[in-house]
């Protein structure tokens, strides 16, 4: 065989190398139980082997007397959608491509303000860190944050607050300052750079010092525009107390939303810290209405949906124009709700997705 023949053979068969054996075994098990569950190329490959399928299947399952092998399937490198209840992301409407199965049972979600759920997880698993937003749609109830802090202290768990979005929106720094709960680590982004790309991590020395024992690098580490922007943003925010301005504006927005909804006989739920306000309409047609709001606002040259992230540059006139437009839209929505108009004939394109949600 010439060396080019070798190369061709290698190219065609290298995926069969030992490192992939478990992956291929799993695919084979799927092929045996339902050939149509595999992409055509894999189906053809297994068909070409002409193996005795029954024998292969038995072999995969292991001997019937072996309890740990019974029903056990080899590990799959990447988890496919619907094969198990793992999913690679939380965004509806996207095709999950999968996550490594090894990550199963390494992260456990808990519901905000549900301390029992959290305690239960901690009781049953060896938890190293709790990572959460301080508050997003709901305020902490019954000293939720303080209780989490004391659980972390007792169990030696690192408490990490994701302040990427909440930081600098209600205090000069993290939202945790408002609730007087100190995390072990917190990180910031967004408002910190006022549009420039910057993120920052703060933390207790004994925890942050672990970074000294690892290698970290980045091609653009020395790129300064984000850092310069953040330093200037900090200066400006402190000077004008921007978090107070946007909180005041946000409170006004929430009040006005409720007023407009009420005058149009629409039931809405308003959520979020004032500077990051969101609303939803209580209706089965909500996603259509959400689409309709964006569609109609765009016609008025306003890019918005059901959320308003306030900026100091949202002036009185802009907000009033927005409320006028929203009032017109709510008027139509109330007609959709009382069935005097049909929402479907008012949507120009496809309906929006519901946004982040748990898929498992």
Ligand X SMILES: Cc1ncc(COP(=O)(O)O)c(C=O)c1O
| Residues engaged in binding ligand X (CB under 6 A) | 133, 162, 164-165, 189, 199
Kindly tell me the burial class for residue 76, based on how many C-beta atoms sit within 10 Å of its own C-beta (0-12, 13-18, 19 or more). Answer: buried
CB of 58 to ligand X, least distance (A): 47
Closest to ligand X by CB, 88 vs 165, is 165
> Are 76 and 22 within 8 A, CB to CB?
yes
Residue 172 phi, psi dihedral angles, 5° rounding: -85, 75
Which position's Cβ is nearest ligand X? 164
Cα 338 from Cα 169, distance rounded (Å): 38
| Closest distance of CB 332 from ligand X, Å | 30
Is 191 or 266 the residue whose CB approaches ligand X more closely?
Answer: 191
Q: How far is the CB of 160 from ligand X (least distance, A)?
A: 11
CA distances from 105 to 121, 127, 158, 279, 354 (A): 11, 11, 18, 34, 26
Q: What is d(CA 312, CA 254) in angstroms, rounded to the nearest whole number?
A: 16
Q: Which is nearer to ligand X, 199 or 283 (CB)?
A: 199
Which CB sits closer to ligand X, 258 or 280?
280
Q: Minimal distance in Å, beta carbon 187 to ligand X? A: 8
CB of 352 to ligand X, least distance (A): 17
Rounded to a whole number of angstroms, the minimum distance from the CB of residue 165 to ligand X is 4
Which two tokens mark 226?
A: 């984000």
Query: Measured from the CB atom, is 51 or 133 closer to ligand X?
Result: 133
Q: Where are the alpha helices (DSSP H) in the chain?
A: 3-13, 21-33, 40-49, 53-61, 115-124, 144-155, 176-179, 205-208, 225-240, 242-263, 286-299, 316-337
**Collapsed DSSP state (helix, strand, coil) of residue 65:** coil
Which CB sits closer to ligand X, 26 or 162? 162
| Smaller CB separation from ligand X, 24 or 191 | 191
Q: Which two tokens stand for residue 286?
A: 């909500």
**Minimum CB distance to ligand X, residue 16 (Å):** 37
**Whole-number Cα distances in Å, 72 to 29, 32, 61, 80, 102:** 11, 15, 6, 17, 15
Give the pair of three-digit tokens for residue 291. Answer: 């689409």
User: What 8-state DSSP symbol labels residue 300?
Assistant: T
In this complex, which beta carbon is closest to ligand X, that of residue 189 or of residue 250?
Answer: 189
Q: How far is the CB of 176 from ligand X (least distance, A)?
A: 13
Dihedral over Cα of 155, 157, 161, 162: its sign: negative
Q: State which residue, 160 or 268, has the beta carbon closest to ligand X.
A: 160
* Closest CB 276 distance from ligand X, rounded Å: 9
Phi-psi region of 181 (alpha: psi -120 to 50; beta: other; left: phi over 0): beta
């Amino acid at each position: 065989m010439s060396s080019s023949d070798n190369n061709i053979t290698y190219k065609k068969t290298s995926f069969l190398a030992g490192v992939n054996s478990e992956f291929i075994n799993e695919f084979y098990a799927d092929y045996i139980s339902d050939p149509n569950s595999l992409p055509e190329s894999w189906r053809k490959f297994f068909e070409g082997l002409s193996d005795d399928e029954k024998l292969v299947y038995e072999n995969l399952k292991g001997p019937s007397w072996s309890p740990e092998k019974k029903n056990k399937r080899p590990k799959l490198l990447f988890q496919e959608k619907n094969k198990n209840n793992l999913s690679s992301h939380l965004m509806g409407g996207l095709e999950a491509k999968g996550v490594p199965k090894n990550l199963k049972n390494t992260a456990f979600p808990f519901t905000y303000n549900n301390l029992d759920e959290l305690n239960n997880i901690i009781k049953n698993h060896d938890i190293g860190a709790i990572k959460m937003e301080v508050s997003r749609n709901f305020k902490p109830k019954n000293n939720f944050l303080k209780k989490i802090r004391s659980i972390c202290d007792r169990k030696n768990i690192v408490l990490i607050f994701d302040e990427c979005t909440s930081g600098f929106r209600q205090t000069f720094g993290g939202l945790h300052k408002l609730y007087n709960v100190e995390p072990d680590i917190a990180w910031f982004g967004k408002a910190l750079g006022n549009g420039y790309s910057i993120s920052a991590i703060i933390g207790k020395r004994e925890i942050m010092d672990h970074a000294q024992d690892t290698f970290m690098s980045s091609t653009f580490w020395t790129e300064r525009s984000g850092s310069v922007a953040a330093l200037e943003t900090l200066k400006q925010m402190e000077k004008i107390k921007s978090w107070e301005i946007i909180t005041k504006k946000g409170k006004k927005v929430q009040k006005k939303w409720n007023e407009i909804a009420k005058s149009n006989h629409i039931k809405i739920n308003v959520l979020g810290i004032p500077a990051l306000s969101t609303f939803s309409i209580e209706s089965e047609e909500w996603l259509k209405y959400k689409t309709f709001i964006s569609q109609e606002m765009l016609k008025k040259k306003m890019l918005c949906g059901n959320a308003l992230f306030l900026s100091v540059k949202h002036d009185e006139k802009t907000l009033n124009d927005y409320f006028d437009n929203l009032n017109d839209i709510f008027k139509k929505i109330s007609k959709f709700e009382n069935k005097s108009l049909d929402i479907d004939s008012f949507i120009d394109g496809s309906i929006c997705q519901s946004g982040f949600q748990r898929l498992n």
